[in-house]
Structure 1
Amino acid sequence: MKDLMKKIQAQALNSQPCYLVALIESEGSTPRTSGAYMLVGEKGLLYGTIGGGGMEYAAQQLAQQRLQNGGGSFVKTFDLSPAAGMACGGSCQVQFCYLPVGEETGDLAEEALSAMKQRAPWWFLLPLGE
């Protein structure tokens, strides 16, 4: 998780907005459980995984599209059933936390790193949005 926060800081310092994409709820068979994270920039995956396969690819594409259109945090539910062309059979909710360019994003990552060092919760710092 520390590497993830350092990557977020680097993105902020390099004036590159990104999304922290988190699997927040899963039901039935899914590739990963709640708590999986990935970081997505304008050119694609920067760090981590939320399970791979079609769902992760779709989440990356969605994050990239939203970055091109100005960002904004949101939640999306993914159907992983065979009817949706997926093999797992369950469903999951994914939180897309928009991290804009600027000092605030760098500060957020720094605060999260500090909280981690103290073994304190850090996720409450994230912009949960819409």
Structure 2
Amino acid sequence: MSIDSLNKKILKCLQQNARQSNAEIGRQVGVSSPAVSERIKKMEDLGVIEDYKTIVSPFELGYQFKAIITLRAFMGKLKPFLEKVKTYDEVINCYRITGDENIVMEVVLKNQKHLEQFIDQLIIYGESKTQIVLSRVVKHKEIKPIE
């Protein structure tokens, strides 16, 4: 399935508001609700659409810190860490990366003591560096399909 101009329009509608109905999307792009539904289903099946989420403010839920933590894994510790990181409630995003570090994580923490305890859990896997997030500059931009 190619991402034709109609699929691009549908994706744009979903990225702007994934809660709108297929009928509303159909009105915006000029096709029927069943046609929108079929195209969305195909894009989901092909992995073009990965997920639908509600993005919640961690600060409104009582978390005082958001941090970016990089990890340079010790020899033989990367694979065990890749399994363990999936169990950490604090980690909201985690990426394996190139460069001096192997991992970059976005984490939310209740307070300074929680941050210290979380960093202590990482010590057995490697050397970590922590940066406290002060504010978000770009908010979940829509991804434009490549022309």
TM-score grouping bracket, smaller chain normalisation: under 0.3
Does 1 or 2 have the higher relative contact order (CA < 8 Å, sep 6+)?
1
Give the structure-1-normalised TM-score: 0.26
The structure with the greater share of residues assigned to strand is 1
Give the structure-2-normalised TM-score: 0.24
Between Structure 1 and Structure 2, whose CA radius of gyration is higher? 2
